[in-house]
Amino acid sequence: MSRKIISLLISLLMVVLVILFAVSCSQKSDTETTNKESVQTTAKQTEQTTEGQTTESQTTEEITTQEQTTESTEPTGREKMPGHEDVDFGGLNFLIASNNQGQGDPDWDDASEWWVESITNNAVNDAVWDRNDVMSKLYNCTISVDNGGWENGFSASVASGDGKYIAATTLVNRSKLANSRYYNLLKLGFDFDEPWWNHDFINNFSTDGKLFTMNGYWGWHSMNSTWIIYFNKDVYESKFAGTDIYQLVREKKWTWDVMLNMMETIKNDVNGDSAYTFSDGSDADIVGMVTSEQCVQGWYYAAGLTTTSKSSSDYRTSNYVNTITNDRNSDVVDRIIELCNSESYIQTGYTNVPVALKNKTTLFGGEVLDVLRRMSDAEDLRVGVLPLPMIDESQGRYYCYAQPRGISMLVIPTSYSNVEVISQFFTLFAYHSMKLVYPAYLNTYKYTYTSDEESAEIVGLILDSVVYDFSNIAELQGCRDFIGYIATIVSNKQNKITAAAKRYTTTLETSLNEYRKTVQDVDDNY
């Protein structure tokens, strides 16, 4: 090899060595700079000592670990309820007598809120099974139901004092509410301010320091009895694709005027007869709203009116106040007359509401929440849910009417003598229902019954807006007459609500006083 070539190779080798050395120095410099910046940043953070920030003794790693620990310890409902870690029922069986109110539809039987036989791949059914299984394992107990026991064995059991049933559930009515056979729940150690109870129900069914019935997150039949507005998404998007109706609800801009304008915009006289009617035919008109006469009551409550209120917000001491002579009655009924007599508003039989939604011949449908379940098998049906709108934006919140039929009550018979476990068991039951059953209920609407992610959010908003009007649900004389007469006024288009309120107020006052007297005469019995 020539000396010239050797010199050339040595020169190339030296160049390579220089490049490698430069790269190495650059990487070391970058690393040192990064580490220095990281140390300076961490040092700066650890110097901060204001509340909610890191202290000198905390490292970033420790903070991350603490955050992960906090997230992982959030109760899921599969561990014992915080504060109840020592509860052990010693193998007790808690038997509930249910009312077989389903009239052939097992989904309306109270029993399915409390106990189911097996997993069926129905989300709510399986959540009920799961909740009971979790409670059985955590607290050493079993939960069972005597389906139809209210009719067939409960009365005899209470009369004999055998203590067979810890509770019974049935439809609400006045004669069942205040009874010396039931415990006053306000004396049993319940804290009804906790989030797993139905607060509006508790408030409206208590009076004079007594409460004989309760409801909570297990009561999804009562939830299903809530009046709402359905909307067909295909019909909606044909005219209002650029308007997010869910955002209107969130911003509390979902009002009667907004709904009525949409109804008027969407109507289409398809058959050309110059009249808008419900039809199941191929040439059916497109209308704004299809509902039944029952919805008239819904509009009254949606405006923030009730026939009975409470003397204070404290359910422990408040009593009933007759409110059917409210000064707003006449103005509200004028608006109801306007709404219900719009060309685009069709009042028909309640079974036609899902038909019109399925056939895409209506924009809105007014019915109870349970109708969504009954429409779930319809092919290509894209439907959403909305609360009953506010009469105007100044109202500030939504009110959704709870239809009396379907609202169940839970009572604790005085024949069940193991008083110490009553509030403990039902508190745990309500808590685990909130954690395990209620999310499954919402997710059913989110993933099974509707076609969008936001439906569960809106259903939750609706259920937070439910109105339980005691005198209507308990079927007190005067109230039912007054509420029923509103439909007549709307039909005749003659607003005589002020005269009707005066006519029925004495009867309602008498009914309320009679009920309060019944409550006052009931002994606590222990």
Q: Could you report the per-residue pLDDT of 235-283, keeping only the tens digit for each?
A: 999 999 999 999 999 999 999 999 999 999 999 999 999 889 999 888 8
3-state secondary structure 23-40: HHHHHHHHHHHHHHHHHH
Question: What single-letter amino acid sits at 234?
Answer: D
pLDDT value, residue 172: 78
pLDDT digits (tens, 9 = 90+) for 92-142: 999 999 887 555 455 566 788 899 999 998 899 999 999 999 999 999 999
3-state secondary structure 93-150: EEEEECCCCCCCCHHHCCHHHHCCCCCCCCHHHHHHHHHHHHHHHHHCEEEEEECCHH
Residue 523 has pLDDT above 80, yes or no: no
pLDDT value, residue 392: 97
pLDDT value, residue 230: 96
Tell me the average pLDDT across 137-160.
92
- Closest of 525, 477, 476, 470 to residue 207, by C-alpha: 470
Residues, the chain, total? Answer: 526
pLDDT value, residue 106: 56
- DSSP string spanning 409-439? EEE-BTT---HHHHHHHHHHHHHHIIIIIHH
Residue 296 has pLDDT above 80, yes or no: yes
- Closest of 475, 463, 474, 458 to residue 220, by C-alpha: 463
pLDDT value, residue 235: 96
Residue 351 has pLDDT above 90, yes or no: yes
CA distance 442 to 436: 11
pLDDT value, residue 51: 35
Question: What single-letter amino acid sits at 221?
Answer: H
Where helices occur in 303-395 by DSSP H, the ranges are 329-340, 352-358, 371-374
In the chain, what are the domains? 92-223+407-447 (3.40.190), 226-403+471-521 (3.40.190.10)
Tell me the average pLDDT across 213-238.
93
CA distance 318 to 298: 26
Residue 327 has pLDDT above 80, yes or no: yes
pLDDT digits (tens, 9 = 90+) for 18-73: 344 443 444 444 444 443 333 333 333 333 333 333 333 344 344 344 444 445 57
Q: Are the beta carbons of 158 and 414 closer than 8 angstroms?
A: yes
pLDDT digits (tens, 9 = 90+) for 471-497: 999 889 999 899 999 999 999 999 999
pLDDT value, residue 31: 41
Give 509's Cβ-side CA count (13 Å radius): 7
Beta bridge partner(s), residue 130: none
Q: What is the DSSP letter of 448?
A: I
pLDDT value, residue 101: 59
pLDDT digits (tens, 9 = 90+) for 414-440: 999 999 999 999 999 999 999 999 999
CA 355-358-359 angle, 5° bins? 85
pLDDT value, residue 332: 97
The average confidence (pLDDT) of the chain is 85
Element housing 21 (H / E)? helix 3-46
Element housing 66 (H / E)? helix 60-72
CA distance 427 to 264: 49
Rounded percentage of the chain residues whose pLDDT exceeds 90: 66
Q: Buried (b) or exposed (e) across 18-30, using 16+ Cβ within 10 A? A: eeeeeeeeeeeee
pTM of the model: 0.82
Element housing 368 (H / E)? strand 362-368
Q: Are the beta carbons of 126 and 440 closer than 8 angstroms?
A: yes
- Tokens in use for 249? 């609800």
pLDDT value, residue 454: 87
